[in-house]
Amino acid sequence: MAKPRVLVTRRWPAAVEAQLQDQYDVVLNTHDKPLTPCEFRAALTVYDAVLPTVTDLINADAMDVPKAQTKIFANYGVGYSHIDATAAKGLDIMVTNTPDVLSECTADLAMTLMLMVARRAGDGEREIREGKWTGWRPTHLVGTKVSGKTLGIIGYGRIGQEVARRAHHGFGMKIIVQSRSAVNPDVLAQCSATQVDTIEDLLPLCDFVSLHCPGGATNRHLINAARLNLMKPDAFLINTARGEVINEHDLARALWFDTIGGAALDVFDGEPNISPDLMGCDNLVMLPHLGSATHTTREAMGFRVVENLADFFGGRAPRDRVI
C-alpha cells in the first residue's frame, strides 16, 4: 500500500523530519521559504496532508481549487487563524494544532519580555555593544520593579495560567484575569487570582498587562487607542499571543506620547514585516517570535503533529482537531 503523500511547508527539527520520512512519502521545503498562494493551490491537488506553520497564510485564495486531494492541515503551532476556516471546511480539510507542549516555554518568554522592558535590559545590552557604557552611577538606566506588582492577564487558558504561576509564586505579583468565559474558582485559587468581567475593568488596575488570547478576526485590534488610554501611564503591555491582537499604530502613538510606560512584543501583525511606527519606539522591546523556541518544545510540537497524522491516517479522530 502506498504511503500517504505529505508536504512539510518549512524546515522542522531533524528528528521530527526523520520520523515523518520514515512513515510517509514526504516532501520537505528545503529552501525554507513561505509558499505562495499559487504553490499552496498546487499542493492541495497533489498531497494527502499539508503540514503548515503559523507563518503560512492559507487564505481563501490559497485554497481556490475545485477539489482538494489534501484532507488534513496538520498545523505546527497552537494558533490557526492563518488558515481560512470557511475555505478549509468547503474543501473538507480537517485542521489540527499542537496545544499544551509549548505553554511553559511561551510563559517563560512572556516573563522574559516583562523583565526586559521593566528593567531596560535591551537598552543596557545595546549600550555595552555600542561601547557607550561609562560605568555604574546611581541614575543610570533606572527601571521599574516587577516583584509585588499587579499583573493583568487577558486570556486565561494554558499559557495564561502558566504565566500567572510564574508571576505569582515567583515574583509575588497580584493576578487579575479577564477571559471569554468564567474561570473555575479552583484554577483562580492556584494563584490567588481575581477575575473581572471586561478588559475595561482590568486595564486601569494593572502595572503589567500580558496578552494570551486567540488571534483571528474576532480579536483583531482588541488592544486599540481607547483601551491603551485606560492603562496606567507607567504600565507595560506584553504580547506573546498573536500580532493582530494589537493595533500597532495605536500602540506606537501610546509609546511616543508616554501614554503607557512601555511594551514588549514577540509577535507582530504581518510578521516578519515590522511596522515602521514601532521601529522608532525607544520604550519597546521586540523579539522575533521566539515564544516556543527551545529545542525541547520545537521537537515536542513536531511529534504532536506526527501523532495527529497517525490518528488521521489510522482512521481515528485526532485529539487536537480544531476544524
Please report the pLDDT score of residue 23 as a whole number: 97
Q: Which three cell numbers stand for residue 91?
A: 474543501
End-to-end CA distance of the chain: 28
Please report the pLDDT score of residue 1 as a whole number: 77
With both helix axes pointing from N to C terminus, report the angle between 14-23 and 295-313 in degrees, rounded to the nearest 10.
10
Catalytic positions: 242, 271, 289
C-alpha to C-alpha distance for 305 and 299, rounded to whole angstroms: 10
| Residue 290 half-sphere exposure toward CB, CA atoms < 13 A | 13
**pLDDT per residue as tens, the chain (323 positions):** 799 999 999 999 999 999 999 999 999 999 999 999 999 999 999 999 999 998 899 999 999 999 999 999 999 999 899 999 999 999 999 999 999 999 999 999 999 999 999 999 999 999 999 999 999 999 999 999 999 999 999 999 999 999 999 999 999 999 999 999 999 999 999 999 999 999 999 999 999 999 999 998 999 999 999 999 999 999 999 999 999 999 999 999 999 999 999 999 999 999 999 999 999 999 999 999 999 999 999 999 999 999 999 999 999 999 999 99
Partners of residue 264 on adjacent β-strands: 238, 285
Dihedral of CA 282/111/160/184: which sign?
negative
Helix, strand and coil content of the chain, in percent to the nearest 5, comes to 35, 15, 50
Nearby residues of 225 by Cβ (< 8 Å), 6 or more positions away: 247, 250, 253, 254
C-alpha to C-alpha distance for 161 and 265, rounded to whole angstroms: 19
C-alpha to C-alpha distance for 162 and 189, rounded to whole angstroms: 14
Domains, the chain: 5-99+295-313 (3.40.50.720), 103-286 (3.40.50.720)
Rg, the chain, Cα only: 21
Please report the pLDDT score of residue 55 as a whole number: 85
Task: Find, among 31, 32, 10, 35, the residue nearest to 20 by Cα.
Answer: 10
Provide the b/e sequence for 286-319 (b: ≥16 CB within 10 Å): bbebebbebeebbbbbbbbbbbbbebbbeeeebe
